[in-house]
Amino acid sequence: MLRYSTYQSIYDRKADSRNEGALRKGAARLNEAIANSISNIFARITLFKLLVFILFVVIAWAGMASAVASSPDHDVVESESVVVKRGDSLWKIAAAHKPGDMDTRVYVTAIQRANGLAGSNIQPGDILVLPMK
């Protein structure tokens, strides 16, 4: 016959508490592992969103830079074109087309600069750009 001292109940509280502690530790580790993996997933998604945003900003900036670079300068001087005829000289063309209050010598120099002329040699048929000041 069994004696009371050797009998162990399956409902012993000490045994349950030992198993319960191990289960709690295992569950805590599992919860921590799940939380870490979820936070890693969210961190990767956030990093991906950040990289996409940075890529979008770089592309937009490059597009704006190319649009600004291809736009005409705002410092363009208004000009008029004249075809050189037989008997014309820079002096005659400058005297005929200069603004009223400008010296003819200054306007001849401006015509030379606008057309890239080193001297006053022009030929019939040349097209001269006359700056308007």
Q: What is the pLDDT of residues 72-130, one digit of tens each?
A: 665 555 678 899 999 999 999 999 988 888 899 999 999 999 899 988 889 999 999 99
Report the first-to-last Cα separation within the chain, whole angstroms: 127
Domain termination site, one of 52, 71, 90: 71
pLDDT at site 6: 66
Long-range Cβ contacts of 104-109 (<8 Å, 24+ apart): none
| Residues 2 and 67 grouped into a single domain | yes
pLDDT digits (tens, 9 = 90+) for 52-67: 999 999 999 998 888 7
| Residues 61 and 2 grouped into a single domain | yes
pLDDT digits (tens, 9 = 90+) for 113-126: 989 998 888 999 99
| Residues 4 and 55 grouped into a single domain | yes
Paired with 79 in beta bridges are 131
| Centroid of chain to Cα 72 | 20
| Residues 53 and 95 grouped into a single domain | no
| Residues 18 and 46 grouped into a single domain | yes
Task: Name the residue range of residue 126's domain.
Answer: 79-131
- CA gap 123, 125 in Å, rounded: 6
pLDDT at site 128: 92
pLDDT at site 92: 93
CATH number of residue 95's parent domain: 3.10.350.10
Residue whose token pair is 């000009």: 79
- CA gap 69, 25 in Å, rounded: 65
pLDDT at site 86: 93
| Residues 62 and 102 grouped into a single domain | no
Mean pLDDT, residues 26-54:
88
* Structure tokens belonging to residue 39: 């936070």
| Residues 3 and 53 grouped into a single domain | yes
pLDDT at site 127: 92
pTM of the model: 0.43
Residues counted in the chain: 133
pLDDT at site 60: 92
Number of domains in the chain: 2
